[in-house]
Structures are given as C-alpha cells and as structure tokens.
C-alpha cells in the first residue's frame, strides 16, 4: 500500500517534470526576445515546482563577470548584487568547472557567498537548499541556472538536478540561437555600411577635410607624403579625432584612388566573424555559410583596406593576421586555395599599442609590421583654432541639407571654444547638428546649448583611461587623465561640453530619453556603468550595446 502511494507520488512528479520541460521548451522557442522568454520560463519553474527563488546568470563574451540576466523572487536591490567572477563562490565555481552543485543547507556551506541575501531571508526557518547547474552552448559554458528551495531529502535534490539540467540545456540552445541571429544581423549592418561607404566614396573630396591649425597642417603634409607609396600606415589618436577621414584622404591621394577603399571595424566583430569577414569563406565552411563569399581583403584588391580599432583584435587573431601580412596570401575560411591580393593596409587605433606590447597583449612582430609609418591625430582640445572652421563646416552642411540659413552668434562660438571636447570632432559635429535641429530661429546663441543649462551629460561620462590613452610618441598625448573642465567652468555643473545631451523635456513616456545616443547614456547611468545591465534596460544584447557605445563614441566608467 505504502509502496503504491510512493510510486504514485513519483509518477506524478515525473509527469509534472515532463509538463514543465514541455512548457519551457514551448516558451523558449516562441521568440528571440530571450529576456522575456527566460523570465517566463523561470515563472513556470516556480509555479509548477514551487522553488523559492531562481536566477539565470550569463557571462557575455566581452564581460569579465557572470551577471544576472533574469530572476524570480529577488527584489531590485538584491538583483543588483548578483554578479560573480568565474570561480567565485558556488555560482562562480559551477561556471568555471562546468559541473552542477547541490547545497543541502546554505547556512553550513562556507562557499555560499549569500550575496543576494538568501540566508538572511531564511533566518530561523528550515534549511534552504541551493542547486546550481551550468548553462552550455555546444562548445563552452556560458552561464549558470540556480534555484533556492526549502530543505528536502536527497532524492528531491537529485530530481531537481535532473530537471534543471534539462532546462539549462534548453536555455543554452535559446541563447546560442539568439547570439547567432544577432551576429548575422550585425554582419548585415556592416555590409550595409560597406555599401554606403562605397556610395559615399563618390562624394568624398579633400575639401571636406577641415583643419587650419599647425598640427593639422602637419597631419595633411604627412598624408600627402605617404600617399604615393604602398607602405602600411598606422593612424593614432583618440576616438573621433578624424583617423578615418585621414585614412580616406591617404587613399584618395594615392594611385589607388580609383580602386576600392574598404573598411573593417575590428572591435565590432567577434573573432570568428572577423576572420570570415576579412578572408571570406567557402561554401559550407560553417553553419549558415550557404555560398562562397569574398572577404574584405579580396574586395579591397588593388585598393586600400582600412582596419579600424586594430588594437582590439584577440591574440589568436593577431597571429593569423601576422601570417597573412608576412606571406601576403591567405585562404578563405574552410578553403585551402591560397589567394594573393594587392592591398594597401591602413590601420587605426586609439589604444596605447606600446603599452600593450610591453604587457604582452599585442604581438611585437605584428606591431612592427603595421607601425611602418605613424600619423598622430591630435585631440581637438589641443587645436582649438580648428573649432570655428569645423563648426562652420558642419553648420554649412546642415543648412544645405535642410535648406536653412542658421548662423552662430559670437557668444555661441565662445561656448564651443571653451568646451573640452572629450569626444573630439565627432562630438563637435553631433553638437552642431543637435543645436541646429533644435533651434527655431536662424541664430544659435549660447543659451541654445544644453550645457549652458547644465544638461550636458557627456562631460560626466567621458574619460580617457590613463593606461589605454592613445599613443606615446606624440607630445601631450601620453597618459591622459580624465578631462578637467577648462578654467572658469565647474565640472558637471557648467557649460563644459555643449555636445549631445538630451534637450529639455525630451524624455519619452517610458522615462527613457529620446534619441539613440541619449538612451545609451541614460541606460549606462542607470546601470552605473555595467554594460550588460544597460543593454537589458534597452532590450538589446551586450554585444549590440558595445557596438552602439563605440558607434556613438561613448566612453564610460563604472561608478
Ligand atoms: N578634419 C576633419 N574635417 C572634417 N570632418 C572631420 C574631421 N575630422 C573628423 N571629422 C568628422 O568627425 C567624425 C569622426 O571622424 P572619424 O570617424 O574619422 O574619427 P576616428 O578618429 O576614426 O574615430 P574612431 O576612433 O571612433 O573610429 C566624422 O563624422 C568625420 O567626418
């Protein structure tokens, strides 16, 4: 009789588990919005099987910590604290070792960190058990799924473990699928950019390159000197100083001007994607490689390949690139036929490559290969006499495109002149466009700049990290500290950066400001500089967030 009741209980538990897995698999395949589907899955787990709390923690490729992706049963303050280094505590170990862990009583487990207060919540009650299982893709562990429940017998833990492992597998597949689709989308975006580049090429003229200062005249002279040869050029300078502008100028001034100028942003692509983008791939080289595709080296044949953010490529990719530069030939991914191309390479970086070489993170042989001729782009704050010409260049372009006749008053010019411009020319360009768009009259005065109303956030968010600051050989470019507001301005409370802050009353109904850049800044502020969290606020992936921050040149720090 007892045995029959026991059998019945275990049968009903087994069928409950089946229903749970079935429901969760239905939810996870219903949409690519993983934060929604995962939250719903945890709700199913909780309501069908009665767990107290559960969490999904994921480690994005470009983050060094496991961070909470979704949770059930945690309040906002507890959720903020749920992040772990690989190897740290129970969760970090499950991630590093790739093996599940069951803690029957968290109160007596020294490895249990109690970061989110599970223990305190349960003070005085029956023991709380904790189960954590790894979430995997086909190749590696990407996260951890955890649940808390009131203490049970060991048979109960074994069942929890089995069920959670099945659910973790489903989650792993859903996250992988989402990542593949996102990468594909990013590839398409880059392809579109490339096509746009190709179109823009026809309207690019050196007249668009502005710079009256002595420093920029020197840069132009160097560009003229290097253009005729095939030597590799390395462009150094902070973000937004005009490295791409000069790369195009070198190409336009060279005998290759009638051949393609092809750009690749090394920081925006994962290593695998970068490899297939640069070298192309053969049919069937990997899942989704339906046909043969030429890489950017081949597309640039006879012309120039501009590799932006070269300091951001992984050590493994540095080795591959070095081989290609040495042998001057390569194979497409999945192919074995050597391909030779005639390409002039221009690289750019805002990183301190010398420091990276000393730290062993950038190969010295690759460094010497690409650093044949260096051109340094000075930050805008070091050439303030370029500001009026650049401002009027951008304003003129705006007027032509919008059929307006806007001019800057002297006071407005003064505001521009006193800004520190941490985002350099790009920030000035955005600032002019913003203020011109917002003004209803034909005169832009000093009060039209958001910074004069203390509404410019970029001064707070921008900074240059000492170790990563640009390049050594240029006077004044070494070891830049966080920018100081110019004399006469109070940091964070003054018209220091009239760039692209949100205009008054621009918050949308959801509380997020309008405009892509403002939303990014808003999210980074809310998330106190934690990129993955900011991405979730905007419902985008960490990778998309990284790409968007780069695109808008938003450099942030953790608070
Ligand atoms: N001398 C210049 N004359 C006219 N426009 C410029 C000049 N320098 C930069 N710009 C404009 O500023 C923006 C940023 O320039 P660019 O993309 O070349 O900077 P970058 O140094 O390559 O930035 P990143 O390191 O972030 O890629 C572009 O829109 C570009 O057209």
Q: Distance (Å, rounded) from C-alpha 556 to C-alpha 525?
A: 9
Residues 166 and 297 in one domain: no
Query: What residues does ligand 1 touch, defined as CB less than 6 Å away?
Result: 208-211, 237, 239-245, 308, 348, 350, 393, 425-426, 429, 553
Q: Distance (Å, rounded) from C-alpha 363 to C-alpha 374?
A: 17
CB 68 within 8 A of CB 79: yes
Last residue of a domain, one of 325, 353, 376: 376
- The rounded Å distance from CA 71 to ligand 1 centre is 42
> Could you tell me if the ipTM is greater than 0.95?
yes
Residues 391 and 480 in one domain: yes
- The rounded Å distance from CA 315 to ligand 1 centre is 28
What does the pLDDT read at residue 503? Answer: 33
What does the pLDDT read at residue 472? Answer: 40
Residues 351 and 393 in one domain: no
What CATH number corresponds to the domain at position 392?
Answer: 1.10.8.60
Which is the closest atom of ligand 1 to the Cα of 350?
25
- The answer to the question of residue 84 being in a domain is yes
- The rounded Å distance from CA 263 to ligand 1 centre is 14
Residues 209 and 354 in one domain: yes
Q: Distance (Å, rounded) from C-alpha 151 to C-alpha 141?
A: 28
- The answer to the question of residue 266 being in a domain is yes
Last residue of a domain, one of 376, 398, 416: 376
What CATH number corresponds to the domain at position 299?
Answer: 3.40.50.300
- The answer to the question of residue 526 being in a domain is no
**Number of domains forming the structure of the chain:** 3
Residues 385 and 438 in one domain: yes
Residues 365 and 387 in one domain: no
What does the pLDDT read at residue 469? Answer: 45
- The answer to the question of residue 548 being in a domain is no
Which is the closest atom of ligand 1 to the Cα of 209?
3
What CATH number corresponds to the domain at position 124?
Answer: 3.30.450.40
- The answer to the question of residue 525 being in a domain is no
Residues 317 and 392 in one domain: no
Q: Which residue is closest in CA terms to ligand 1's atom 13? A: 426
Which is the closest atom of ligand 1 to the Cα of 241?
21
Three-state SS for 433-475 is HHHHHHCCCCEECHHHCHHHHCCCCHHHHCCCCCCCCCCCCCC
Residues 151 and 210 in one domain: no
Torsion over CA: 426, 432, 437, 438 (sign): positive
Which is the closest atom of ligand 1 to the Cα of 429?
12
Residues 23 and 158 in one domain: yes
Of 268, 307, 425, the residue with max ligand 1 atoms within 8 A of its CB, to mutate for a pocket test, comes to 425
- The rounded Å distance from CA 209 to ligand 1 centre is 9
Q: Which residue is closest in CA terms to ligand 1's atom 10? A: 242
Residues of the chain with pLDDT under 70: 1-11, 31-32, 120-124, 151-155, 184-206, 284-291, 454-515, 528, 553, 555-559
- The rounded Å distance from CA 424 to ligand 1 centre is 8
The phi and psi torsions of 58 (rounded to 5 degrees) equal -125, 150
Last residue of a domain, one of 162, 179, 196: 179
Q: Distance (Å, rounded) from C-alpha 152 to C-alpha 107?
A: 15
- Give all strands of the β-sheet with 261-265 in edge-to-edge order: 261-265, 304-308, 344-349, 233-236, 373-376
Residues 97 and 24 in one domain: yes
Q: What is the DSSP letter of 329?
A: E
- The answer to the question of residue 144 being in a domain is yes
- The answer to the question of residue 347 being in a domain is yes
Q: Using CB atoms within 10 Å of the CB of residue 334, give its burial: 0 to 12 exposed, 13 to 18 middle, 19+ buried.
A: middle
Residues 32 and 174 in one domain: yes
What does the pLDDT read at residue 205? Answer: 55
Residues 7 and 75 in one domain: yes
- The rounded Å distance from CA 429 to ligand 1 centre is 9
- The answer to the question of residue 196 being in a domain is no
- The rounded Å distance from CA 540 to ligand 1 centre is 26
Provide the residue range defining the domain that includes 299. Answer: 204-376
Q: Distance (Å, rounded) from C-alpha 344 to C-alpha 405?
A: 42
């Amino acid at each position: 009789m007892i045995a029959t009741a026991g059998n019945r209980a275990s049968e009903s538990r087994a069928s409950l588990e089946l229903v749970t897995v079935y429901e969760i698999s239905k939810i996870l395949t219903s949409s690519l919005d993983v934060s929604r589907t995962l939250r719903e899955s945890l709700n199913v787990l909780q309501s069908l099987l009665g767990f107290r709390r559960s969490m999904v923690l994921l480690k994005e490729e470009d983050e060094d910590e496991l961070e909470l992706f979704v949770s059930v049963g945690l309040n906002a303050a507890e959720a903020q604290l749920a992040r772990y280094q690989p190897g740290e505590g129970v969760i970090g170990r499950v991630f590093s070792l790739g093996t599940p862990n069951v803690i029957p009583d968290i109160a007596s487990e020294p490895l249990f960190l109690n970061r989110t207060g599970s223990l305190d919540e349960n003070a005085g009650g029956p023991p709380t058990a904790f189960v954590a299982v790894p979430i995997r893709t086909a190749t590696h562990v990407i996260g951890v799924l955890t649940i808390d429940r009131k203490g049970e017998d060991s048979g109960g833990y074994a069942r929890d473990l089995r069920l959670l492992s099945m659910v973790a597998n489903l989650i792993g597949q859903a996250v992988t699928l989402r990542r593949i689709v996102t990468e594909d989308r990013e590839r398409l975006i880059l392809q579109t950019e490339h096509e746009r580049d190709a179109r823009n090429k026809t309207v690019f003229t050196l007249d668009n390159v502005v710079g009256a200062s002595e420093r920029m005249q020197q840069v132009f002279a160097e560009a003229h000197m290097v253009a005729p040869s095939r030597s590799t050029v390395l462009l150094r300078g902070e973000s937004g100083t005009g490295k791409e502008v000069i790369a195009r100028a070198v190409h336009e001034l060279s005998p290759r001007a009638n051949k393609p100028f092809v750009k690749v942003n090394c920081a925006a692509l994962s290593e695998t994607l970068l490899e297939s983008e640069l070298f192309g791939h053969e049919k069937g080289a990997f899942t989704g490689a339906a046909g043969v595709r030429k890489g950017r080296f081949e597309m640039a044949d006879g012309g120039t390949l501009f590799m932006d953010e070269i300091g951001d490529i992984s050590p493994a990719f540095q080795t591959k690139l070095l081989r290609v530069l040495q042998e001057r030939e390569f194979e497409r991914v999945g192919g074995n036929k050597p391909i030779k191309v005639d390409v002039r390479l221009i690289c750019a970086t805002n990183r301190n490559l010398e420091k990276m070489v000393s730290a062993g993170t950038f190969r010295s042989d690759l460094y010497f290969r690409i650093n044949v001729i260096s051109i340094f782009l000075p930050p805008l704050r070091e050439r303030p006499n370029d500001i009026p010409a650049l401002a009027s260049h951008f304003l003129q372009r705006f007027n032509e495109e919008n059929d307006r006749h806007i001019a800057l008053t002297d006071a407005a010019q003064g505001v521009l002149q006193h800004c520190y411009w941490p985002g350099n020319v790009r920030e000035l360009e955005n600032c002019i466009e913003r203020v011109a768009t917002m003004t209803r009259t034909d005169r832009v005065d000093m009060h039209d700049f958001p910074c004069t109303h203390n509404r410019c956030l970029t001064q707070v968010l921008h900074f240059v990290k000492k170790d990563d600051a640009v390049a050594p050989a240029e006077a004044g470019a070494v070891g830049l500290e966080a920018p100081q507001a110019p004399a006469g301005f109070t940091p964070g409370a003054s018209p220091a950066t009239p760039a692209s802050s949100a205009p008054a009353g621009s918050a949308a109904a959801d509380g997020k400001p309008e405009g892509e850049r403002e939303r990014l800044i808003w999210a980074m502020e809310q998330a106190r500089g934690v990129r993955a969290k900011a991405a979730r606020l905007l419902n985008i992936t960490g990778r998309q967030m990284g790409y968007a921050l780069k695109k808008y040149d938003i450099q942030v720090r953790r608070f």
